[in-house]
Amino acid sequence: MPLLVARSQRLAAEALQRQDPQGLSDAARLADVAVRRWPTSVEALYARSAALYHRWLLTREPALVPRFMADLRRARAVLPQPIFWVYAGKTHVQTDRPLEAVGELQRALVLADQQRDGNAAALGRVWLGAALTLLGDQAQAVAAWVDALRVAPDVPGVYDFVPWARRLAPPHQARLLEAVPPARRAEVQRLLAERG
């Protein structure tokens, strides 16, 4: 990995920890230098995309979305890793575009299954469930989350379904809770009961 990319990633991590949008912009600019030097470097493209995405999470500046999404598309054209489709789908969910999310996430799941990538398979199902919830299909959302828990119950991010699962009707929540491993069930039940 080029040193510029590593520096950009370190800067972004520090800025994110401080919740510092300007620091994330600085990290993106550093990654931009790396992208200009190595235009097909997946690491450089992803570093710039991630810095801009995290800035967007803090600021919700709409102009950032097409920029970090373009880098995701370029990265996955070079190296078709399923996680890049997961991240695109996740962004579509977060920007209230569930139909676009479903397409990206279905592609992610095909690739993840082909490549036997359990992490991407689980995370893809988490965000697919969120998209389906936004589309009003609670039963299919629960099915996606149950599959995510079956595939990789200990992957960081697999419980990111909780904010969307709070919207479920009680029978759907009960079905989902049955699939949560016993060691995590009480915690998830508590999180589902929280509002916010």
Decide which of 61, 79, 97 is a domain's last residue: 79
22 and 106 belong to one structural domain: no
172 and 104 belong to one structural domain: yes
174 and 118 belong to one structural domain: yes
Count structural domains, the chain: 2
Decide which of 79, 100, 121 is a domain's last residue: 79
71 and 9 belong to one structural domain: yes
156 and 107 belong to one structural domain: yes
- Residue range of the domain that includes 133: 81-196
Q: Is 146 exposed, middle or buried (0-12, 13-18, 19+ CB in 10 A)?
A: middle
In the prediction, which pLDDT does 2 show?
A: 77
112 and 190 belong to one structural domain: yes
Task: Give the span between the Cα atoms of 129 and 78, in whole angstroms.
Answer: 28
Contact 50, 69 (CB under 8 A): no
CATH number at residue 87: 1.25.40.10
6 and 48 belong to one structural domain: yes
69 and 155 belong to one structural domain: no
CATH number at residue 71: 1.25.40
pTM, rounded to two decimals: 0.91
Q: What are the backbone angles phi and psi of residue 155, rounded to the nearest 5°? A: -70, 130
In the prediction, which pLDDT does 196 show?
A: 60
85 and 12 belong to one structural domain: no
178 and 124 belong to one structural domain: yes
Decide which of 28, 45, 79 is a domain's last residue: 79
Half-sphere exposure of 86 (CA within 13 A, CB side): 22
How does pLDDT run along the chain (196 residues), one tens digit per residue? 679 899 999 999 999 999 999 999 999 999 999 999 999 999 999 999 999 999 999 999 999 999 999 999 999 999 999 999 999 999 999 999 999 999 999 999 999 999 999 999 999 999 999 999 999 999 999 999 999 999 999 998 999 999 999 999 999 999 999 999 999 999 999 999 997 6
Cα separation values, 7 from 20, 30, 54, Å: 16, 8, 16
In the prediction, which pLDDT does 96 show?
A: 95
What secondary structure letter does DSSP report for 81?
-
